[in-house]
Amino acid sequence: MNDYLSISEEVQLALKEGRPVVALESTIISHGMPYPQNVETALRVEKTIRENGATPATIAIIGGKLKAGCTPEEIEYLGKKGQAVIKASRRDLPVLLARKEDGATTVTTTMMIAAMAGIKVFATGGIGGVHRGATTTMDISADLEELAQTQVMVICAGAKSILDLGLTLEYLETKGVPVIGYQTEELPAFYTRRSGFKVDYRIDSPEELAAAFRTKIDLGLRGGMLVTNPIPEKYSMQPEVINKAIEEALNELNEKGIHGKQCTPFLLAKVKDLTGGESLEANIELVLNNARLAAKTAAALCK
């Protein structure tokens, strides 16, 4: 394992001293936002985590190494290379590592590498889920399966309604993954604070999030916990605007016959094009908001 895993000195030291660490994914950098906003945001997220008392660990695959803790130069490299970096899910690891290639880690692989490194809290924007039409396409993100088996808390802003949110919740229930609403009873839908679907539990403080996850670990229950943190009111988008863009993006996806791993990046890019700068700003702000909560929760978990 040590042949493949490379933990930065800063992250190693924090873990050794029992200080809080927050994992961050890299697909959001390479595939989730345009350059240079992607790099600027990744660095701002790291800064926000530090300001809130934790050590950031941006996770990626570089030259066949599983990296827990990237340098600003590595973040710049991934951001500039953009979509040319392979979006790496669980199934991609064996070949990518054997070939010593680069990979942008999704929620799935970020959870895997965080767990290998001993990091328990991970902040991101949105997770993958059950796609609309999955009853025939069987397109279900590996993120859900990873939440079922890997013991990492994932703090996100819910899931975008490019997905079937109802089926996503059903899948998580089947797999025994607790879905928590942070200061809300309703599952947030990424750009908006509301989805019409209920979460399993509402939790109002980082301390109580930490206590629930600590209990899951103590009980020896495998799998993670999904914390959904609504976008701040100030930055949330009009449901009509965002839903229209999502419908248009889905129509184009079907017309073009795009499927498999290209689906999510295509839909995200299309929605962004259709809604211009507003959705990008919302995206950036919700990630920063999740980073703050993750840092505080990681700190509570260390107490």
Residues at the interface with Mn ion (CB under 5 A): 139
Q: Is 175 a catalytic residue?
A: no
Q: Which of the residues 87, 160, 270, 272 is marked catalytic?
A: 160
Question: Which residue of 43, 116, 134, 142 would you call a contact of ligand PSU, by CB under 6 A?
Answer: 142
* CA 251, 127, 223, 65 torsion-angle sign: positive
Choices 36-44, 53-61, 125-133, 212-220 (CB under 6 A): range interacting with ligand PSU: 125-133
For Mn ion, the closer CB: 76 or 143:
143
> Quick one: residue 60, left, alpha or beta (phi over 0 = left, psi -120 to 50 = alpha)?
beta
Q: Which of the residues 25, 46, 76, 146 is marked catalytic?
A: 25
The radius of gyration of the chain from alpha carbons, rounded to an integer in Å, stands at: 18
Question: Which residue of 8, 27, 41, 195 would you call a contact of ligand PSU, by CB under 6 A?
Answer: 27
C-alpha pair distances (Å), 5 with each of 12, 57, 89: 12, 13, 16
For Mn ion, the closer CB: 72 or 133:
133
For ligand PSU, the closer CB: 231 or 299:
231
CA gap 104, 83 in Å, rounded: 9
Q: Identify the three-state secondary structure at position 203.
A: strand
The site partner of 106 among Mn ion, ligand PSU, none (C-beta below 5 to 8 Å per kind) is ligand PSU
State the minimum distance, in angstroms, from the CB of residue 141 to ligand PSU. 3
State the minimum distance, in angstroms, from the CB of residue 33 to ligand PSU. 8
State the minimum distance, in angstroms, from the CB of residue 6 to ligand PSU. 21
Q: Give backbone dihedrals phi and psi of 137, rounded to 5 degrees, phi first.
A: -80, -20
CA gap 224, 237 in Å, rounded: 29
State the minimum distance, in angstroms, from the CB of residue 160 to Mn ion. 14
State the minimum distance, in angstroms, from the CB of residue 94 to ligand PSU. 18
How many CB atoms are closer than 10 A to CB 73?
8
# of chain residues touching ligand PSU (CB under 6 A):
19
Question: Which residue of 77, 122, 171, 190 would you call a contact of ligand PSU, by CB under 6 A?
Answer: 190
Encoding tokens for residue 156? 């996100």
Q: Is the peptide bond before 56 cis (omega within 30 degrees of 0)?
A: no
CA gap 303, 293 in Å, rounded: 16
Q: Is 17 a catalytic residue?
A: no
Residue 160 sits in the site that holds ligand PSU (CB under 6 A): yes
CA gap 153, 39 in Å, rounded: 24
Name the residues that contact ligand PSU, by CB under 6 A: 25, 27-28, 32, 106-108, 125-128, 141-143, 160, 190, 261, 264, 268
The catalytic residues are: 25, 160
